[in-house]
Amino acid sequence: MNTLLISLTRFGDLLQSQAAVRELAANGGRVGVVCLENFAPAVQLLEGVDVVFPLPSSGLLAALHAPASSSPATGALCPGWMHALGGLAQWRNAVLQDFPPDYVCNLTPTLSARILSLFLAGDAPITGFGLDAQGFSVNSSLWVSFLQGASQVRGVSPFNVVDVFRRVAAPACTAQVPISFPLPEGTTGLCGNARLRAPQGAMHAAALDGMRQEAPQEAKGFVGMQLGASDNKRRWPVAYFVEAGQALWDTHKLCPVLLGSASELELAERYIAQATHPVVSRCGKTSLLELASLVQGLNVLITNDTGTMHLAAGLGVPLVSIFLATAQPFDTGPYSVGSVCLEPGLPCHPCAFGSACPRNNECRYSISPALVARYAHALFKEQPLAPGACPEAVLAGTRVWLSEFDTTGEISLASLSGHQQEDRSVWLFLLRELLRQFLDRQRTVPFVLQTSHLRFCCSPDMRQKLQGELARLCGTLELMQQQGRLLLVRRLEHVQKKFLAGWESVFSLLRASPYFAALAFVWQEETQAEGQSMPDVLEVMGQFQSLFVNLAAFIAV
Per residue in 439-485, pLDDT (tens digit) is 988 655 567 776 545 567 888 999 999 999 999 999 999 999 999 99
Q: Is 90 exceeded by the pLDDT of residue 70?
A: no
Helix (H) / strand (E) element for 36: namely: strand 30-36
- Same structural domain, 206 and 132: no
Q: Is 149 helix (H, G, I), strand (E, B) or coil?
A: helix
Q: Is residue 254 part of a domain?
A: yes
Q: Is residue 151 part of a domain?
A: no
Q: Is 50 exceeded by the pLDDT of residue 415?
A: yes
Give the pLDDT mean for 525-545. Answer: 88
Encode pLDDT of 174-229 as tens digits.
333 333 444 444 444 588 899 999 999 998 999 999 999 999 999 999 999 999 99
- Same structural domain, 125 and 269: no
Are 198 and 296 spatial neighbours (Cβ–Cβ below 8 Å)? Answer: yes
Q: Is residue 402 part of a domain?
A: yes
Give the pLDDT mean for 86-91. Answer: 90
| Across 219-223, 323-327, 448-452, 552-556, least confident range | 448-452
Give the pLDDT mean for 364-389. Answer: 90
Give the pLDDT mean for 355-373. Answer: 91
Q: Is 80 exceeded by the pLDDT of residue 157?
A: yes
Instruction: Indicate if the alpha-carbon torsion angle 113, 157, 162, 37 is positive or negative.
Output: positive
Q: Is 90 exceeded by the pLDDT of residue 121?
A: yes
In this structure, what are the phi and psi dihedrals at residue 420, rounded to the nearest 5 degrees? -70, -20
Rounded to 10°, the helix 142-150/161-169 angle is 150
Q: What is the CATH number of the domain that holds 132?
A: 3.40.50.2000
pLDDT recorded at residue 77: 62
- Same structural domain, 389 and 295: yes
Cβ neighbours around 214 below 10 Å, total: 15
| Across 12-16, 44-48, 253-257, 417-421, least confident range | 417-421
Distance, CA of 71 to CA of 247 (rounded, Å): 64
Question: For residue 82, which of 95, 91, 93, 69 has the smallest C-alpha distance?
Answer: 69
Q: Is residue 517 part of a domain?
A: yes
* Percent with pLDDT over 70 in the chain: 91
pLDDT recorded at residue 283: 96
Q: Is 70 exceeded by the pLDDT of residue 151?
A: yes
| Across 74-78, 375-379, 437-441, 464-468, least confident range | 74-78
Residue 74's pLDDT band (boundaries 50, 70, 90)? low
| Across 235-249, 344-358, 369-383, 452-466, least confident range | 452-466
Give the domain range for residue 86. Answer: 2-140
- Among the candidates 109, 140, 171, a domain finishes at 140
DSSP state of 352: P
Residues pairing with 415 in the sheet: 401
More confident residue, 67 or 382: 382
Q: Is 80 exceeded by the pLDDT of residue 127?
A: yes
* Percent with pLDDT over 90 in the chain: 70
Give the pLDDT mean for 532-537. Answer: 89
Are 420 and 387 spatial neighbours (Cβ–Cβ below 8 Å)? Answer: yes
Distances (CA, A) of 53 to 40, 45, 56, 91, 526: 8, 15, 9, 9, 32
- Among the candidates 394, 420, 446, a domain finishes at 420
Are 336 and 319 spatial neighbours (Cβ–Cβ below 8 Å)? Answer: yes
Residue 55's pLDDT band (boundaries 50, 70, 90)? very high
Q: Is residue 70 part of a domain?
A: yes
pLDDT recorded at residue 117: 95
- Same structural domain, 386 and 465: no
Are 98 and 34 spatial neighbours (Cβ–Cβ below 8 Å)? Answer: no
pLDDT recorded at residue 361: 86
Give the pLDDT mean for 390-414. Answer: 86
- Same structural domain, 415 and 472: no
pLDDT recorded at residue 7: 97
Are 295 and 306 spatial neighbours (Cβ–Cβ below 8 Å)? Answer: no
Are 35 and 55 spatial neighbours (Cβ–Cβ below 8 Å)? Answer: yes
| Across 177-186, 254-263, 389-398, 446-455, least confident range | 177-186
pLDDT recorded at residue 44: 95
What's the chain's average pLDDT?
89
pLDDT recorded at residue 340: 97
Q: Is residue 521 part of a domain?
A: yes
Q: Is 50 exceeded by the pLDDT of residue 288?
A: yes
- Same structural domain, 31 and 101: yes
pLDDT recorded at residue 72: 62
pLDDT recorded at residue 111: 93
Distances (CA, A) of 472 to 483, 542, 552: 17, 15, 11
Q: Is 249 helix (H, G, I), strand (E, B) or coil?
A: helix
Helix (H) / strand (E) element for 379: namely: helix 369-380
- Among the candidates 102, 123, 140, a domain finishes at 140
- Same structural domain, 114 and 233: no
- Same structural domain, 416 and 485: no
- Same structural domain, 248 and 378: yes
- Same structural domain, 473 and 531: yes
Side chain identity at 58, as an amino acid letter? S
- Same structural domain, 283 and 385: yes
Instruction: Indicate if the alpha-carbon torsion angle 82, 83, 87, 88 is positive or negative.
Output: negative
pLDDT recorded at residue 355: 83
Distance, CA of 208 to CA of 206 (rounded, Å): 5
Q: Is residue 152 part of a domain?
A: no
Residues in Cβ contact with 417 at an 8 Å cutoff, skipping those fewer than 6 apart:
345, 388, 390, 391, 393, 394, 398, 399, 400, 401
Q: Is residue 190 part of a domain?
A: no
Judge if pTM exceeds 0.85: yes
Q: Is 60 exceeded by the pLDDT of residue 496?
A: yes
Q: If you write DSSP's letter for every residue of 168-193 in order, what string do you get?
A: HH-GGGGSSS----PPPTT--SSSGG
Are 441 and 417 spatial neighbours (Cβ–Cβ below 8 Å)? Answer: no
- Same structural domain, 347 and 480: no
Domain total in the chain: 3
Distance, CA of 5 to CA of 165 (rounded, Å): 11
